[in-house]
A = this chain, B = another copy of it.
């Protein structure tokens, strides 16, 4: 037998076998792999056909390894572990540092609350990198970025984080102080629609009221929390504040906006699976 070449047994099938064997369930293996139960079932079906043996006994509501499967598993695991460990050691890739670059507000209001779940799901060590607003799009080394825009991103992986919906909110303490329209208006510089748009769309009287301007959503939010006025807030971002009762909405109307934050992934640095895990965890309505 010549020593050249390793025969072509699709290794993704082997991976599916390992996961199913270890977890004792196709469904569980599917979850771990970010695939569907159907995919696992088929992979293993193919594997068995190619190998010419049953690897699993399909019992009701559970599967068991056959003798063949039992015999094969340790070797498969050894190979997979060896590969994973050496790769990790040399390149620090496998389940290692994942840097997410985003604005301070997104970091604080969107990522931090989801950090725990994210770390758990991805198994990675997460680093949040605050984007420097002034520096534009300096090439950072983050594999994942969050940017505001309308979606024409030149990257392969891109998904809107949430649907931008704006509505006025105030600290509960201010509720008794007469009509909210008369309160000082807090606004945040940036790309989001302004009070001007709000008034135009909802026929709110444009009575001149005092304004306070902030350069970050977080700052404006802090002011609102402190009872300094009414903030035209991004509802998804302040959901936690609303839930906690630190802020309350004062109008039913909602101002929508076509621009929003996008989750952007560097395709060459992320596997399909990693991307799915990330977006599943971070995108509104997916998790």
Interfacial residues, chain A to chain B (CB-CB below 8 A): 1-2, 4-12, 14-15, 18-19, 22-23, 32-33, 46, 49-53, 68, 71-72, 75-76, 78-84, 86-87, 90-91, 93-95, 123, 268-269, 271-274
Contacts and interface: CB of A to CB of B under 8 A. Distances in A.
Given A91-B51, A268-B50, A6 B11 contact: no
Contacts of A268: 46, 49-50
A77 to B, nearest CB: 9
Contacts of A11: 11-12, 14-15, 83
A279 to B, nearest CB: 15
B83 A76 contact: yes
A269 B76 contact: no
Contacts of A5: 19, 32-33, 95, 123
Contacts of A75: 82-83, 86-87, 90
Nearest to A19: B5
Nearest to A5: B32
A123 B2 CA distance: 7
Contact of A50 (B46, B53, B83, B271): B271
Given A1-B95, A50-B93, A76 B86 contact: yes
Contacts of A32: 4-5
A70 B55 CA distance: 36
A271 to B, nearest CB: 4
Contacts of A83: 6, 9, 11, 14, 75-76, 79
Nearest to A88: B7
A271 B9 contact: yes
Given A11-B12, A52-B269, A86-B72, A18 B1 contact: no
A51 B93 contact: yes
Contacts of A4: 22-23, 32
13 contacts: A1-B123, A5-B33, A5-B95, A7-B123, A7-B271, A9-B94, A11-B14, A14-B83, A52-B93, A68-B91, A72-B86, A76-B86, A78-B79
A60 B286 CA distance: 49
A72 B89 CA distance: 10
Nearest to A32: B5
A15 B6 contact: yes
B71 A78 contact: no
Given A1-B95, A10-B12, 4 more contacts: A7-B84, A7-B95, A8-B271, A50-B269
